[in-house]
Amino acid sequence: MEITLTFGIALIVALVGVIPPGLLNMTAAKISIKEGHTRGLVFSIGVCVIVVLQTLIALVFAKYLNNHPDVVSILKRVAFVIFVLITVYYLVIAKKTDNTDVEYNVKSKKSRFFQGLLLSALNVFPIPYQAYMAITFTSFEWVHLDPIGITTYVAGATTGTFVMLYIYVFFFEKLISKKIKSQMGMNFTIGIITGIISIITMINIIKEL
């Protein structure tokens, strides 16, 4: 049960992190459209190899921070403000700035796998994001940073990333055909999720007072 919960949490956390259109998922979508689904998936596998390493680094960092509660307390307050601002953006501001016409020109003739490795390595956001989320769920004792817990969390995060990239690879064209509806729905979903994370963070901060 504990392994299933850890895997599920990591999968959802990773899904949320990759939902917003960004360099990695949009590149995967463009490769799929121009060169076929197979090459899009090869690119996605390259991305996920780096995600494994990034998540491991994040969990090591989280384990270190758990032994320094003063630093964690400050980070939680900073993270709370950030998640509240993100929630306000996606629920209020993003409604007025709907724009899904994103173009990424993929010119590299090298292996899409290595391109996925490179672009994923340049994207360092998952490290602080996963570290903070791991600290949050560890404080609730939903996740344990022992060898089994770390292995399970890494597997869940990697699976979640691949699933979202898979959705972009196979369903991006259908999504943009209904761009206004899908974008508004995506913004609302992200806003709700980050709002929930904000509430969890606030509860965590109150518990420490």
Is pLDDT above 80 for 39?
Answer: yes
What is the pLDDT, as a whole number, of residue 90? 66
Taking Cα atoms as reference points, which of 173, 206, 208, 199 lies closest to residue 34? 173
What is the pLDDT, as a whole number, of residue 149? 92
Residue in the structure block whose two tokens are 């292995």: 151
CA distance 110 to 42: 12
| 125-146 tens-digit pLDDT | 888 888 888 888 887 788 888 9
Of 83-92, 99-108, 163-172, 193-202, highest mean pLDDT: 163-172
- For the chain, the domains span 2-208
pLDDT tier, 95 (very low <50, low <70, confident <90, very high otherwise): low
- The answer to whether the beta carbons of residues 199 and 91 sit under 8 Å apart is no
Percent of the chain whose predicted confidence (pLDDT) is above 70: 71
The alpha-carbon radius of gyration of the chain (Å, integer) is: 18
What is the pLDDT, as a whole number, of residue 101? 45
Of 33-42, 44-53, 73-82, highest mean pLDDT: 44-53
* Mean pLDDT of the 88-116 span: 61
- In the numeric block, which tokens belong to residue 2? 């504990």
CA distance 62 to 128: 9
CA distance 59 to 147: 11
Looking at every residue in the chain, the average pLDDT score rounds to: 79
pTM of the full predicted structure? 0.72
Taking Cα atoms as reference points, which of 151, 161, 157, 156 lies closest to residue 60? 151
Is pLDDT above 90 for 199?
Answer: no
State the virtual CA torsion across 7, 9, 14, 19 in degrees, nearest 10.
Answer: 130
What is the pLDDT, as a whole number, of residue 78? 72
CA distance 118 to 98: 30
- The answer to whether the beta carbons of residues 132 and 75 sit under 8 Å apart is yes
What is the pLDDT, as a whole number, of residue 192? 73
> How many residues make up the chain in this entry?
209
